[in-house]
Structure 1
Amino acid sequence: MFRRTFWFTAGAAAGVWATTKVNRKIKQLTPESLAAQAANKAIDAGHRLKDFALDVRAGMAQREAELGEALGLEHDPDAELPAQRRVVAIENRAPGSRKHQITSHQTYENGSYTYNRNEDH
C-alpha cells in the first residue's frame, strides 16, 4: 500500500511539473512574447555595440597620444580644426568695380591688347 501511494504521488508531481513546463513554453511562443524577446535582444545588441564603439574610441585616443608622445608632437586630439583658408588670386574689389574684369573682346587698361577667350581654342 505504501508503494502504491508513493508512485501515485510521484506520478501526480511529475504531471504537475510537466504541465507547468509546457504552459510556460506555450506562453513563450506566443507572438507577443516573441516580439518582446526580439526587442530585448535588439536592445542588448545595441548596448554591446555602443560599448564596443566607446572602447574603440578610447583605444584610438590612447594610441594617438602614445604616437604623439613618441614623435614629440603636442597636439590636442579634441581641439577644433583651424578655419579653412581661402586662396585669393585677385585682390577683392567692390561689386561695381570693372577695373580688372576681362570679358570677351574687352581691352586691358592700356588698350593695346584685346582678349578673346575663343582664340585660345
Structure 2
Amino acid sequence: MFRRTFWFTAGAAAGVWATTKVNRKIKQLTPESLAAQAADKALVAGHKLKDFALDVRDGMVRREAELGEALGLEAPAGPELPVRRNLAVEAAEPEAPAAHRKLPYHSYNRNEDH
C-alpha cells in the first residue's frame, strides 16, 4: 500500500515539475520575450563596445604621450581627437525653417486617373 502511494506521489511530482518546466520554456519563446532578450543582449553588447572604445582611446592618448616624450614634442592640452570638418557642408546655405518651406501640391482625387 505504501509502495503504491510513494510511486503515485513521485509520478505526480514529476508531472508537476515537467509541466512547470515546459510552461517556462514556452513563455521564454513568445515573441515579446524574445524581443526583450534581444534588446537586453544589444544593450550589453553596446556597453561592451563603448568600454572597448574608451579603452582604445585611453591607450591611444597614453601611447601618443609616450611618443611625444620620446621625440621631445610638446603634448596636446587634452585627450580630445582633432575635429574633422567637412567644408562642403559648411559652405552650403542654411535650410529654411519648416514653416517657410513650400511643399509640392498633389491632387489626391482617386477618380482623376480613371
Q: What range describes the TM-score normalised by the shorter chain of this pair? A: 0.5 to 0.7
The size of the alignment, in residue pairs, is: 81
Secondary structure at the residue paired with 2:75?
coil
What is the match of residue 65 of structure 2? 65
What is the match of residue 34 of structure 1? 34
Alpha carbons of structure 1 residues 2 and 79: separation in structure 2 relative to 1, 3 Å: closer
Between Structure 1 and Structure 2, which shows a larger proportion of helix residues?
2
CA contact (8 A) 2:68 2:74 kept: yes
Using the aligned pairs only, state the percent identity.
84
Q: What value does the CA root-mean-square deviation take over the aligned residues? A: 1.8
For 2:73 and 2:52, locate their aligned partners in 1 and report how far apart those are by CA, in whole Å: 28
Matched AA of 2:45: A
CA contact (8 A) 1:68 1:75 kept: yes
| Moved >2 Å (runs of 4+) | 77-81
Tell me the CA shift for residue 77 of structure 1: 5.4
Tell me the CA shift for residue 79 of structure 1: 7.6
For 2:67 and 2:61, locate their aligned partners in 1 and report how far apart those are by CA, in whole Å: 10
What is the match of residue 47 of structure 1? 47
1:1-121 matches, cutoff 5 A: 1-76=1-76, 78=78
Matched AA of 1:60: M
Alpha carbons of structure 1 residues 79 and 54: separation in structure 2 relative to 1, 3 Å: closer
Cα deviation 1:3-30 (Å, max 9, x = unaligned): 2122111111111110000000111111
CA contact (8 A) 1:68 1:74 kept: yes
Cα deviation 1:30-52 (Å, max 9, x = unaligned): 11111111111111111111011
Gaps of 5+ in 1: 82-121
For 1:8 and 1:17, locate their aligned partners in 2 and report how far apart those are by CA, in whole Å: 14
Gaps of 5+ in 2: 83-114
Alpha carbons of structure 1 residues 79 and 8: separation in structure 2 relative to 1, 3 Å: closer
For 1:17 and 1:30, locate their aligned partners in 2 and report how far apart those are by CA, in whole Å: 21
For 2:4 and 2:72, locate their aligned partners in 1 and report how far apart those are by CA, in whole Å: 87
Bigger Rg, which one: 1
